[in-house]
Structure 1
C-alpha cells in the first residue's frame, strides 16, 4: 500500500494532475511558454500593421541596385558573426564554451530583445536567461561577460564617433550646426555609461548594489516570501565577482574583445553606405558616409524608445538631408530602417518562436524517457489489475 501511494504521487506529478483530495484549481499548470509564443506572434503582427512604410518599402527596394543591397546584407551578417564570436571569446575566458551557432543565436536574441525594449534594456537579461536554460551557465558569469562585451563595444563606439566628429566638425559647423549639441551630449552619455558599468567590477560597489537589491526585496511581501531569492543574489554576486578575482588571466581576452569591437562597429555603420550606393549615389566617400552614420548613432542611442524609434528616423533626416538630394530622403530612411531594424526584429521573433517549440519538444522527450514516466505506465497497469 505504501508503495502504491508513492507511485500515485509520482504519477500525479508526471501527468500534471493533483493527487486525490487536492483542489481542482491546482491541477492545471499555466502554459507560460505557449503564451509567450502567442504574445510574440501578436507583437510582430501589430508591429507590421502599425508601420505603414512596410507597404512601400518593398516597392522601393525593387528599384534599387541589387548588388549593393546584397553587400549591405552580407556586411550585416558579418556584424552578427562578430557579435557572437566576441561573446564566445569572453565566455571562454570564464571557463564556459558554446558553439559558433549558439553564439550567433545568442547574438540575434540579444539584439531582438534590445530592439523591442525601452533603452535596449532587455537584451542582456534575456541572453543570460537563455544561457542559464540551455547551457546551465550561472547568471552572474554570463552577466559579467555580457557587460564586458557591452563596454568593449561602447569603447569602440565612442572612439570611432569622436574621430568622426573631429574629422567632420568643420563641415558640420558650416552646413548643419544644429546637430552638434546632440553629438556632444551623446558622446558624454555613452562615455559615462562605460565608467558606470566598469564600476560594477569594483567589489564594494557591486556589494552595495546587491545589498540594495536585498533591501528592496524586504519592502515587497510577495518577494519576501520567496526566500530563495536572497541566496540567488548572493550566488550572483559571487559568480559576477569571479571575473575580477582572476582578472590577470582574462586580460588577453579583454584586449582582443576591444580590438575586435572596432571593426564590428565599423561594419554596423557601413550598411548605410551600401544603401547610399544602391540609390545611385557615388559622389561621397565611404569614410564620410561612415562618419555621418556614427555621429547619427551616438546622438540618438540614449533615447528611451525601443530601438530609438522616432529619434532614428528624425535624426537620419537631419544628418543625411545633404546626401539624399533627389527627393528620395524618406525612401532612404525606410530602406535603411528595414535593413538595420525591422529585419532584425522579424528574424528575432521567428527565432524566439522556433526556439520555444524546439525546447518544449525536448522537455517532452526527456519527460517521456524519465523513470517517472515509466512509473505512470506501471501504475496504470497495476490499477487495471486491481480493478479486475
Structure 2
C-alpha cells in the first residue's frame, strides 16, 4: 500500500473515532439504542429510499445530459458513476476525489473526455448553485431563528456559504471561458513534462487541444439548449431536498411533533451548507457535533443522539458502504469497450 493511501486511511480512521466520540459523549447508549428501536419501520424504509434517491438522482442527471450530447450511455451505468463519485468524495478532503474517479470510469467505458468533463462540471456547478440559492434564501428569510439554532456555529454557516459562492464563480468562469480551459489543459501538460512525469509528445498535445475544442462545442450546445439546464436545476433541487426531507422522516418516525417539516428541513440544510466545503473526508466529526447543537431544541433527551445516528448513518455511512460495493463493481466492469456499451444501449 502506498504511503499516501496509508496516511489517508489513518486520517479517515481518526475522524471516525472523533465521530463516535461526538455520538457517545454525554449519552446513555442504552437509552439511545431504545430510542433507535422505537423508530417506525415505515418511516425508516422511506428514509432509506430517500437516501438512495439522493445518489441515484445525480446519475439520472448525468445520463440525461450525456444523452443530450448524443453519447450512447446506459442509465444504470450512470447510476454507477454517481455512487463512485459519492464514495471517493466521502473519503477525500473537500470531496475532491469524486469527479476525477467518475471521469476515469466514464473514459474507460469509451465516453469522450470532453463530453464527460462538461457533463460532470455542469452537474457540479448546478449542485453547488442550488445549495447557494437555498443558503442565501435561508439567510434572507430565516436569519434570526437560524442564529438561535446554530449558536456558535453561525460563523461556519457564513464560511460555508461564502466558499460555495466562490467555487460556483470559479467553475462558471472555467466553463464559459474556452481560452481559460484550454490554458489549464495545456498548462497542466507542460507542468507534468517539466517535472518529468510526462514525455514530450506532439500527438498528445494535439489531442488535448482537440479535446478542449470539443469541450467548448459541448458548452455551446448547452447554451443553445437552456431547457436541459432548467431540467437539471429542478432535478438537483429535488435531490438536495430529499436528503433534508430524510431528517423530517426520522423526526416523525420517532414520534416527535411540534416542529414543522419546513423548519426541520431548513435546519438540516444549514448543517450541510456549513460543513459542505470543509477539508475533512465526509465532514466527519464536525457534522455530528454541529447536528447535536442545531437539533437540541428539536429532539428531546436520547432522541437527539438517536436521530443523529440514524440520519447520519443513512445519509453518509450507509451510502458510503453501498457506494464502495458499486465502485468495486464499476472497477470490475470498467474494461468493457465502447462497442459493448453501444450494444447494451
Superposed displacement of residue 197, structure 1:
0.5
2:268 aligned with 1:293: yes
Moved more, 149-158 or 238-247: 238-247
- Structure 1, residues 68-91: CA drift from partner, whole Å, max 9, x if none? 111111222332332122111111
2:109 aligned with 1:130: no
Aligned twin of 2:122 = 148
Q: CA-atom RMSD, angstroms? A: 3.1
Aligned twin of 1:344 = 319
Aligned twin of 1:205 = 180
Give the direction of change, closer, same or farther, for the CA distance of 1:177–1:250 in structure 2 (3 Å limit).
same
2:277 aligned with 1:302: yes
Separation in structure 2 between the aligned mates of residue 357 and residue 58 of structure 1, nearest angstrom? 38
Any stretches of 5+ residues in structure 1 without a counterpart? 1-34, 367-388
Give the direction of change, closer, same or farther, for the CA distance of 1:222–1:160 in structure 2 (3 Å limit).
closer
- Structure 1, residues 146-199: CA drift from partner, whole Å, max 9, x if none? 110111111211112222233321223445443332222211111111111011
1:220 alignment partner, one of 195, 200, 217: 195
Larger Rg: 1
Aligned twin of 1:139 = 113
Q: How many residues align?
A: 323
- Structure 1, residues 106-162: CA drift from partner, whole Å, max 9, x if none? 21111111111111111111111111112x112221011111011111121111222
Listed as ranges, the matches of 1:59-78 within 5 Å are: 61-78=36-53
Listed as ranges, the matches of 1:375-386 within 5 Å are: none
2:166 aligned with 1:192: yes
Separation in structure 2 between the aligned mates of residue 48 and residue 175 of structure 1, nearest angstrom? 28
Aligned twin of 2:134 = 160
Identify the structure with bigger relative contact order (alpha carbons < 8 Å, sequence gap 6+). Answer: 2
Give the direction of change, closer, same or farther, for the CA distance of 1:208–1:63 in structure 2 (3 Å limit).
same
Listed as ranges, the matches of 1:266-285 within 5 Å are: 266-285=241-260
Q: Is the 8 A contact 2:149 2:294 kept in 1?
A: no
Separation in structure 2 between the aligned mates of residue 186 and residue 142 of structure 1, nearest angstrom? 28
Separation in structure 1 between the aligned mates of residue 14 and residue 331 of structure 2, nearest angstrom? 22
Q: With structure 2 as the length reference, what TM-score do the two structures score?
A: 0.83
Separation in structure 1 between the aligned mates of residue 15 and residue 184 of structure 2, nearest angstrom? 41
Q: With structure 1 as the length reference, what TM-score do the two structures score?
A: 0.74
